[in-house]
Amino acid sequence: MRADRLLSILMLLQVHRQLTARDLAERLEVSERTIHRDMDALSSAGVPVMAERGKGGGWSLLDSYQTTLTGLNLAEIQALFLPKPTHLLADLGWSQAFEAALLKLLAAIPAANRQQAEMVSQRIHVDPTGWHRWDEEMSAFPILQTAVWQERQVHLSYERSDRKCVERLVNPLGLVAKGSVWYFVASVESEVRSYRISRVRDAILTDYPCVRPVEFNLADYWQQSMVEFKANLPYYGVTVRVAPEVMPRLRYAGYFARIEQIDSPDADGWTRIWLRFDIEEAACAYALGFGAQMEVIEPLELRERVLQAAKKTILFYTEH
């Protein structure tokens, strides 16, 4: 509705001070022409919106203008009270602040909606962690968080995946929580990289100001880095046949196995399945785990490797 959009424009301009018509159009999912019409409507209603043309310009409000709009609808109120990942808030040191903010918000909303807001936390619970969670080493987190807030360069001692430690002076750009794992995003000589915080062995805050890339957007960077990460994963394709009794537990049998395609059962009730692994060793261990309930069809070298591993296992238990 247009009224809701006009209120959203006011709120956005109060928060961001100045936004271009394109920025507003993208955020509100309308055309730039619609935004210009909305600005005319706000101006006609006495709202002091101003347009600054040229590079670096955009729409803004007079500095002295403030609105105290609190017209939240029921769905918006319920969304605000949806439980947040408590352990992530605790990592950031925001647990108490979050609870205090909710109390203030609860006191400010209409009494008719207060019960509905409180009901959300009793009806919905969000747990972003998986079943297999390992506690991460987070000793460097406070320093990295400070570096991000204060925009100061930080000297890192970082352990790479190959166990080699490297020393780097980086510009902090942000923190990202992937599930229950925290990543530190920083730039090194104009190249943006992600560092798993549990691998940061030491972090020293410097007095040098952070150099932030122009128009850097943390969410956009992370999305693109995830696409590139998945595209560069090693690939080892396997085709197998599995017995009927295996199907119910197939999806939960291996952490490193990803199912790509499942065929219809054949005349014997067995099903042909195409799987993806990172390396051959993982595929061999996976197939051995099912014993005679899984037959490797392709590749032939994996079939032979499984056969030889099974023979060695039989020999080992025969001799001991």
173's tokens: 């750009």
Residue 111 lies in a domain: yes
| Strand-by-strand arrangement of the 200-209 sheet | 191-196, 181-188, 165-178, 152-159, 200-209
What is the span of the domain harbouring residue 184? 141-231
238's tokens: 């396997």
Q: Please compute the mean of the pLDDT values over residues 264-293 and round it to a whole number.
A: 92
Whether 28 and 103 share a structural domain: no
pLDDT exceeds cutoff 70 at 94: yes
Residue 218 lies in a domain: yes
Q: Is 260 helix (H, G, I), strand (E, B) or coil?
A: strand
Mean pLDDT of the chain: 85
Note the pLDDT tens digit of each residue in 279-296: 999 999 999 989 999 999
Residue 157 lies in a domain: yes
Provide the 8-state DSSP code for 293: G
pLDDT at 77: 73
Residue 209 lies in a domain: yes
Q: What percent of the chain has pLDDT over 90?
A: 41
**CATH number of the domain where residue 221 is located:** 2.30.30.520
101's tokens: 């903010």
Tracing tokens 């925290």 back to the chain, one arrives at 182
Tell me the whole-structure pTM to 2 decimals.
Answer: 0.64
Residue 185 lies in a domain: yes
Q: Give the angle subtended at the CA of 140 by the CAs of 135 and 146, to the nearest 5°.
A: 125
Lowest-pLDDT choice from 15-24, 144-153, 234-243: 15-24
pLDDT at 100: 77
208's tokens: 């040098």
**CATH number of the domain where residue 27 is located:** 1.10.10.10
pLDDT exceeds cutoff 80 at 64: no
Please answer whether residues 218 and 158 qualify as being in contact, where contact means their C-beta atoms are separated by less than 8 angstroms.
no
Cα distance between residue 31 and residue 22, in whole Å: 8
Boundary residue ending a domain (209, 231, 253): 231
What is the secondary structure of 137-184 as a DSSP string?
P-TTHHHHHHHHHHTEEEEEEEE-TTS-EEEEEEEEEEEEEETTEEEE
Domains identified in the chain, total number: 4
Whether 147 and 227 share a structural domain: yes
Distance between start and end Cα atoms, the chain? 77
242 burial via Cβ count (<10 Å: 0-12, 13-18, 19+): buried
Q: In 10 A of CB 125, how many CB atoms?
A: 8
b/e for 106-122, b at 16 or more Cβ within 10 A? eeebeeebeeebeeeee
pLDDT at 293: 93
Q: Please compute the mean of the pLDDT values over residues 43-49 and round it to a whole number.
A: 85
Note the pLDDT tens digit of each residue in 160-199: 988 899 999 999 999 998 887 899 999 998 899 999 999 9
Residue 276: strand pairing partners: 237, 258
pLDDT at 253: 61
